[in-house]
Amino acid sequence: MRFDNLELKDDFYEKCSFFTKKLLEWNKIHNLTGAKSEKEVWENIEDSVYPVKFLSPVKKAMDIGTGAGFPGLILAFALKDTEFLLVEPRNKRAAFLNYIVATLELKNVKVEKKRVEELPAEPFDLITSRAVAKTFFLIELCRTFIKKDTILLFYKGEEVDNEVEELKDFSFDIIRRGKRRYLFIKNKRI
């Protein structure tokens, strides 16, 4: 599998192939994700990595509610110079993430088996989240991690147009791709 619209290195695809194989194995026992076939996993991988086309380089990123690895782990495969913190409170999913990180010897990834509210405040350059909560609530959840130039990247669906009405203190862009809406938010004043 290759994504024609993205320039990604061969080791990205190698890591994704290993990830896909292991996710499908673990998923049979632990039900980590709704993706049950190789095709569905690769669709989730493409969905996760697509914003690399638009992202500026960042040093530190946090993914809230990483689940089985979408989007944070996949972004970490592609952005090797970015330090990623994957926040996942569920035991089985955090164990799977730690297994992948250890097996692939990912030096740029750390997994926290906690809720984001339990983490100490610390600034990040990029904060991502997919299918966790409504936009304004997500912003409130990660407020202690937002600095002046932090970019928030939320993977949303078609309902995002209703959610952005609450973003008076933020500038944002919505990139539309099929049913996916990539919501890029920069704060104006926090």
Residue 145: count of CB within 10 angstroms of its CB: 21
**pLDDT the model gives residue 188:** 57
Residues 81 and 57 sit within 8 Å (Cβ to Cβ):
yes
- Residue 7 — φ and ψ, nearest 5°? -95, 100
Phi, psi at residue 127, to the nearest 5°? -125, 125
Instruction: Report how far residue 40's alpha carbon sits from residue 121's, in angstroms, rounded to the nearest whole number.
Output: 35
Intervals of the chain under pLDDT 70:
187-190
The domain defined by 10-187 folds into Rossmann fold (3.40.50)
Whether 116 and 129 have beta carbons less than 8 Å apart is answered as no
- Strand ranges (E), 3-108: 60-64, 83-87
Is the entire prediction scored with pTM above 0.85? yes
Q: Where are the domains of the chain?
A: 10-187
3-class SS of residue 64 = strand
